[in-house]
Amino acid sequence: MSSVALTTPLTDHLASLKLIDARSLRGETTRLRILEAAKNTFTRLGYELTTVDDIAKEAGISRPGFYVYFPTRFSAAEALAEYVGVFILKDFDALAALGPHPAQEDLAIWVLRRFAVMIEQHEYMRIFRHVVAVEPSFAARTRARYAEAFYRLAPVYPAFARAADAPDGEDAVRAHMLLSQLDQLSMDLIAGWRADPETIAAIFAGELARFLNS
């Protein structure tokens, strides 16, 4: 798989900050430090075993200091998902940029990039799977991300426009299944599946092309 230069969702957000107020900037920097600490402790201990004290210690702040920014451990996980979701959704803008009738080869290249992004963010992906196992309501974050993808793709692809217009309709179900399958394939590669990524991408690109042309 070709390499892709990427940043992390948290550093990407920090680099984009254009806050004039220095106090606000310090506050956002502290918030991001807490989230980085949450990511590290969730990775090391697992979400279920991580406590607020663990996160605060990793971040170098007090327990009350944690609560200034997040009311619960779960809210920190939700904030991580928000940053990662924004980061990952950028890929769908690249898909839309291919135009209304993309060549299957171009779709396969897009799928490979998607794999690269997800693999690069593998620590987050594993964390979120653990969170869902403990907090089933967290799965709503994934559904919301898919819905946002539908809206981003709707101006270019009628199939996604129909999915966005009728969230419980057949096209929405098909679109959800496609994106869910793409995420699962990424997770399989992260877990060490030794299948050729280019072969997987070519097969999936065919399925995606059929949906886009439906």
- pLDDT, one tens digit per residue, over 17-44 is 444 455 555 767 889 999 999 999 999 9
The per-residue pLDDT for 7 is 46
Angle at 158 between CA 153 and CA 161, to 5 degrees: 55
Average pLDDT, rounded, for the chain: 88
**CATH 1.10.357.10 fits domain 9-212:** yes
Q: Would you state the pLDDT for residue 52? A: 97
Identify the pLDDT of residue 3. Answer: 37
- What pLDDT is recorded for position 10? 54
- Report the pLDDT value the prediction gives residue 101, as an integer from 0 to 100: 95
84 pLDDT band (50/70/90 cuts)?
confident
13 pLDDT above the threshold of 90? no
What is the mean predicted confidence (pLDDT) over 59-70?
95
Q: How many CA atoms lie within 13 A of 59 on its CB side?
A: 27
The arithmetic mean of pLDDT across residues 112-130, rounded, is 90
Q: pLDDT confidence of 141, banded at 50, 70, 90?
A: confident
How would residue 92 be classed by pLDDT, with cut points 50, 70 and 90? Answer: very high
Reference 179, options 92, 59, 77; nearest CA is 92
Average pLDDT value for residue range 91-100:
94
Task: For residues 162 and 154, give the distance between their C-alpha atoms in angstroms, rounded to a whole number.
Answer: 8
pLDDT the model gives residue 23: 55
- Of the candidate ranges 61-65, 117-121, 164-168, the one whose mean pLDDT is the lowest: 117-121
Give one DSSP letter per residue of 56-116, joined into a string: HHHHT--HHHHHHH-SSHHHHHHHHHHHHHHHHHHHHHHHHTT-SS--HHHHHHHHHHHHH
pLDDT band at 115 (very low <50, low <70, confident <90, very high): very high
pTM of the model: 0.81
100, two tokens: 């209304």
Give the DSSP letter of residue 138. Answer: G
129, pLDDT greater than 70: yes
- Report pLDDT for 1: 47
